[in-house]
Amino acid sequence: MKFARRMDRFGEGVFSALAQMKEKKSGDIVDLSIGAPNIPPAPHILKALSEACLVPENYVYAIYDQKELLEAVSLWYMRRYGVSLNPETEICSLLGSQEGLSHIALSIVDEGDTVLVPDPCYPVFADGPSLAGAELYYMPQRRGNHYIIDLKEIPEEVAKRAKLMIVSYPNNPTAVMAPDSFYEELVAFAKRYDIIVLHDNAYSELVFDGKTCGSFLRFPGAREVGVEFNSLSKTYGLAGARIGFCVGNCEVVSKLKTLKSNMDYGMFLPIQKAAIAAVTGDQSCVAQTRAAYEKRRDLLCKGLASIGWEIPKPEATMFVWAPIPDGFESSFAFVEELFDKAGVLVTPGSAFGPSGEGYVRMALVQDEEAIAAAVKRIDESGVLKRKARQ
């Protein structure tokens, strides 16, 4: 059999290597590798979903987003972010934002076009454009610049040929937020070079220490240059239900709708009802989820500091981005040893792009008891004392 060359890039990636490591290991492990949230949806969301599942008429092809859903998203954006959205032209549902991220480039770039992506980044930011045949240009997110992309570093000739750029703060994996000045520069940059911006706002609700975070679309001119992706996976514990949205520039939204109308038949109607309940219902569940992640973050960071691994405290997201201790030749080597000796699985930074080397990402997807157990195991394994022994 002969297969497509584009599949070569999906070979034995770091995530499959981690899965294999997990399979081989017997006994208890603490898995902090994949960002799969474990906080369930609030009861009113479950009720809306389950009631809608009992209605036989809800099993038809959805084809279009329900008017009620589009209006609910528009209301949510106004209430939560102070951003007005036209329900008919500026909102498109996604079967999870991952689905939209993997497809949208097909509606924007042709083979060989340049797409700017952050480095390190959430992998589909690069994989989606690659599937569309794009040339990637990596925009480093360096520690020295607080992990914020420095737009001034992008060479003029690259900016001139770029068609799309993907950015995302609060950021996975580096867990930082971007200042307003970054977004202002971003809009000006995109206008100057006529580049479509995709801002992924998956973690706007997981912002800690009393801070808050808005929407890219509240910046003047943002809607002229791009769109924002949002997801109900982490905010409302709906990861498995697959609910996301692309909102903003009506031309970009319209092209994506056309593309998707050829690919899927829309979001299962009961899931649309759950999404409506989530974004229009009582929002105290969002504060509870945020508080739970903040507690886990504090427990992990304080715990690791107490055993000699000082890690910058993340401002946001459900991740901790940690420079690996001295004495390891790569982040993967550290991950292997940590898993082997402590049974704690984390993701090597190299899985997120070349600039991720030297780091690991820990996902706060286990409860406090498991996080405390992970710290204890790391301490007892002696992995952190490796350098001292050498």
Ligand X SMILES: Cc1ncc(COP(=O)(O)O)c(C=O)c1O
Quote the strand ranges of 209-365, DSSP E: 226-231, 244-248, 319-323, 344-345, 347-348, 359-363
To the nearest 10°, report the CA torsion of 314, 318, 323, 329. Answer: 180
Closest approach, Cβ 15 to ligand X, in A, equals: 12
CB contact at 8 A, 279 and 247: no
CA 376, CA 301: separation in Å to the nearest integer?
Answer: 13
Burial of 206 (0-12, 13-18, 19+ CB in 10 A): buried
168 binds ligand X (CB under 6 A): yes
381 binds ligand X (CB under 6 A): no
Closest approach, Cβ 355 to ligand X, in A, equals: 16
CB contact at 8 A, 226 and 190: yes
Residue 134 tokens, joined: 């794009």
279 binds ligand X (CB under 6 A): no
Closest approach, Cβ 34 to ligand X, in A, equals: 8
Nearer to ligand X, 19 or 188 (CB): 19
Closest approach, Cβ 264 to ligand X, in A, equals: 14
CA 231, CA 97: separation in Å to the nearest integer?
Answer: 6
Nearer to ligand X, 103 or 377 (CB): 103
35 binds ligand X (CB under 6 A): yes
Closest approach, Cβ 226 to ligand X, in A, equals: 16
Site string (217-246) toward ligand X, x via CB under 6 A: --------------x-x-----x----x--
Of 76, 122, 208, 236, the one binding ligand X by CB under 6 A:
122
CB contact at 8 A, 214 and 203: no
Closest approach, Cβ 228 to ligand X, in A, equals: 11
172 binds ligand X (CB under 6 A): yes
Provide the 3-class DSSP secondary structure of residue 35: coil
Interaction with ligand X in 62-121: which residues (CB under 6 A)? 96-98
Q: Which residues sit at the interface with ligand X, rule CB under 6 A?
A: 35, 96-98, 122, 168, 172, 200, 202, 231, 233, 239, 244
